[in-house]
Structure 1
């Protein structure tokens, strides 16, 4: 699979996961994310994360500097919701599928970015 297609696939996975989280939050369907964290409201954060990932898709996740920057931000933003710290979450029994997929997608994007940078350096 070409790297660009793989990057688009990973970004799409993150968009879907974050969209489902946002929908569960609005619907109040457990397990859903908390409405707020000490740093920000969850709905605006998820909306921003989705917007960044869509921007990366539209720019070309690996094709342009802007696309690569947006891809990196999208991957890092997703790790707030799906990072390794989630294995310590009390709700891990219900959220582990999204945590695993989110981590795979985010880490795949970061690995592609490192590989792309090494190839262009």
Structure 2
């Protein structure tokens, strides 16, 4: 028996559910197109048992096989959007927090410059 990767073992229930949902959607797409398991498996380039595992949402099936199945139904374009930077909420939040910190630093520096100028302006000049 082959050892499963740590990544697969650590999948969250929500992630497993999403993969299972995608698999069932792929099965529905195949049935709606009136394709047999054998025909669809051949078009994807996998065995019938592998296609069955895909349609059951098996996370150990390669991403390439899922990508090919998505291509067959015209949905492979969504793969590029999945990890697109503009949808990475955590990174966006980090960017905003960094911008806030930078703004605070600049405001503090500007205030210090103003105070320094004011102090120089108020300082009496020495008499000769």
Higher relative contact order (CA 8 A, sep 6+): 1
Structure whose alpha-carbon radius of gyration is higher: 2
TM-score normalized by the length of structure 2? 0.36
TM-score normalized by the length of structure 1? 0.37
Is the helix fraction higher in 1 or 2? 1
